[in-house]
């Protein structure tokens, strides 16, 4: 018996030592071998630092860049938000190598290569491994999964985003917006000056959560809002730990951050499971016309031919998490930055108000009316270009391959600095840092030198499935605000865009609202 125990313990010790050696090699010899491989191709970059990679330098550069607020009329926030890209591009060129911990990343800024990466249908450039807390927030939904699972999920979710289904959701969008606007009107009515300073960003965060809760969960929207609050806490946790050194296996230890992440995830999953079970028990002639109902309808359809569309309870939960977070972050920030641009460009505010007045007067706009608002659409596209929520896209090489003249090694992460590309004068012309919605007058594909330059909802087969939902919601809310208020930027607003996973105003958006009608 003693000999057996000695044998087992010896085997375990060998396994542990071999794993530790593997980790040590990954943290020491491997980075230098990878650096040598890319330098031979002419791809340079900052030196690798043991375990930290480039994380410490990125953090220090960001802290230094954020010390001084921007001028309210300046839109070139990239040196402030992405200072490491600015520094390394000036030192090493448009394509360079840097390190996220021990993970190599190549920055790619050539639009043809970007198109090749994002449009690939062969699975050569899957999503990079996400931060653990981001994985908890989003779940293994459409945003993060790849391969056959992605194709199956896409088939199930796609029916919820057809034009006809979106038209049905418009009434819920405008109903939520009307409640928010009535609250503003009541607040202004209490002011002697008949105007009020409103912090819009806070309201748009609440509004986007309200709309998604209604359109995703219908009558269970109150529980849906509970999911939003938990995801908000998880986002705060992700921001605080994003640049921490990630040690293999550390995510399984019961540290305070891990315990909090597990607790919040359990709360989210339990709430969503309750909503789903209630829907499946109480259905009467269908599962409902909201996102959850349409997913269940597709999943539960009878017949062997529908087996390819089956999703487990965990998969349905993950898709709900993905839709809630991705839809909320996209639309709330798009509304915020659009209102900022209209507050500082009164001429365009008047043009849009006139268009809305011509198309629907004071009536609540429906989907058909919203489709006619060309100027509103142009301004939203320009807001997405200048202040798009997504700052970068990450992919990885699934194997050793050729990418133009670059030969990425298998496992190398590929960073596409989307915000930098949207402000690139070589792509958008000399006014790239100016607010000019007229660049979209002849359509999206002709606005820049490259037809796919906007990238706000990505391109190719992995393009955001909810982009029409987000644009419809933004059009509806902006149109209803223009019907009822004129507005200008408050003297109390401080222009400090900041990277909190998505691009947000650091201190919110303070705007002076004035009712147009008694």
The 3-state DSSP class for residue 217 equals helix
- Report DSSP letters for 222-259, one per residue: HHHHHHHHHHHHHHHHHHHHTTS---TTGGGS--HHHH
The answer to whether the CB of 118 falls within 8 A of the CB of 459 is: yes
Provide the b/e sequence for 171-205 (b: ≥16 CB within 10 Å).
Answer: ebbbebbeebbeebeeebeeeeeebbebbbbebbb
The answer to whether the CB of 296 falls within 8 A of the CB of 192 is: no
Q: DSSP alpha helices (H): ranges in 121-199? A: 132-138, 147-157, 163-189
Alpha carbon distance 424, 431 (integer Å) = 10
Number of alpha carbons in the 13 Å side-chain half-sphere of residue 456: 26
Name the strand (E) or helix (H) holding 415: strand 413-416
Alpha carbon distance 505, 456 (integer Å) = 18
Instruction: Tell the residue number behind the tokens 């608002």, with chain if given.
Output: 373
The 3-state DSSP class for residue 440 equals helix
The phi, psi pair for 289, rounded to 5°, reads: -100, 5
Alpha carbon distance 407, 394 (integer Å) = 17
Q: How far apart are the first and last CA of the chain?
A: 91
Query: For residue 411, what is the DSSP state?
Result: T
The answer to whether the CB of 426 falls within 8 A of the CB of 111 is: no
* Structure tokens belonging to residue 341: 């641009």
- Report DSSP letters for 109-126, one per residue: --HHHHHHHHT--SSSSP
Contacts of 242 (CB under 8 A, 6+ apart): 131, 501
Q: How many CB atoms lie within 10 A of CB 27?
A: 18
Q: How many CB atoms lie within 10 A of CB 276?
A: 20
Contacts of 144 (CB under 8 A, 6+ apart): 127, 130, 135, 138, 322
Q: Where do the DSSP E strands lie in 251-379?
A: none
The answer to whether the CB of 451 falls within 8 A of the CB of 111 is: no
Query: For residue 409, what is the DSSP state?
Result: P
Burial of 477 (0-12, 13-18, 19+ CB in 10 A): buried
320 is in an annotated binding site: no
Q: At what angle do helices 313-343 and 467-484 cross, to 10 degrees?
A: 40
Query: Which parts are annotated binding residues?
Result: 464
Query: Which parts are annotated binding residues for heme?
Result: 464
């Amino acid at each position: 018996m003693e000999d057996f125990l000695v044998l087992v313990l010896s085997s375990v010790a060998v396994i542990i030592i071999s794993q530790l050696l593997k980790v040590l090699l990954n943290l020491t010899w491997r980075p230098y071998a990878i650096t040598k491989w890319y330098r031979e191709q002419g791809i340079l970059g900052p030196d690798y630092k043991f375990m930290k990679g480039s994380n410490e330098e990125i953090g220090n550069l960001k802290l230094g860049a954020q010390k001084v607020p921007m001028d309210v009329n300046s839109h070139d926030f990239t040196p402030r938000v992405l200072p490491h890209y600015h520094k390394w591009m000036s030192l090493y060129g448009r394509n360079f190598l840097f390190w996220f911990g021990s993970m190599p990343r190549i920055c790619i800024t050539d639009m043809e290569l970007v198109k090749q990466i994002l449009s690939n249908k062969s699975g050569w450039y899957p999503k990079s491994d996400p931060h653990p807390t981001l994985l908890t927030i989003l779940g293994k939904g459409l945003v993060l999964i790849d391969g056959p699972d992605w194709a199956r999920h896409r088939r199930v979710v796609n029916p919820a985003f057809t034009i006809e289904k979106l038209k049905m959701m418009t009434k819920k969008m405008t109903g939520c917006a009307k409640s928010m606007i009535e609250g503003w009107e009541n607040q202004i009515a209490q002011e002697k000056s008949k105007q009020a300073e409103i912090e819009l960003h806070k309201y748009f965060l609440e509004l986007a959560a309200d709309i998604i809760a209604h359109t995703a969960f219908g009558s269970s929207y109150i529980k849906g809002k509970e999911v939003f609050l938990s995801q908000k806490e998880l986002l705060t946790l992700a921001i605080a730990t994003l640049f921490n050194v990630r040690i293999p296996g550390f995510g399984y230890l019961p540290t305070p951050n891990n315990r909090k992440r597990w607790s919040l995830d359990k709360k989210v999953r339990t709430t969503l499971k309750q909503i789903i079970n209630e829907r499946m028990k109480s259905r009467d002639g269908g599962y409902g016309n909201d996102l959850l109902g349409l997913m269940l309808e597709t999943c539960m359809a009878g017949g062997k031919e529908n087996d390819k569309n089956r999703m487990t309870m965990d998969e349905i939960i993950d898709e709900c998490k993905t839709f809630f977070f991705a839809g909320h972050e996209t639309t709330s920030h798009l509304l915020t930055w659009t209102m900022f641009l209209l507050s500082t460009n009164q001429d365009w505010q008047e043009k849009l108000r006139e268009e809305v007045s011509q198309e629907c007067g004071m009536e609540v706009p429906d989907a058909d009316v919203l489709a006619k608002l060309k100027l509103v659409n142009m301004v939203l596209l320009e807001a997405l270009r200048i202040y798009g929520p997504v700052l970068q896209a990450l992919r990885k090489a699934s194997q050793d391959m050729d990418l133009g003249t670059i030969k990425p090694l298998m496992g190398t992460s590929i960073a596409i600095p989307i915000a930098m590309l949207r402000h690139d004068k070589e792509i958008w012309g000399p006014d790239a840092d100016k607010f000019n919605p007229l660049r979209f007058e002849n359509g999206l594909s002709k606005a820049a030198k490259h037809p796919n330059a906007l990238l706000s909802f990505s391109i190719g087969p992995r393009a955001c499935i909810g982009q029409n939902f987000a644009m419809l919601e933004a059009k509806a809310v902006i149109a209803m605000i223009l019907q009822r208020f004129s507005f200008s930027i408050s003297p109390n607003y401080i222009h400090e865009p900041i990277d909190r996973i998505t691009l947000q105003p650091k201190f919110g958006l303070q705007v002076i609202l004035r009712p147009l009608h008694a």
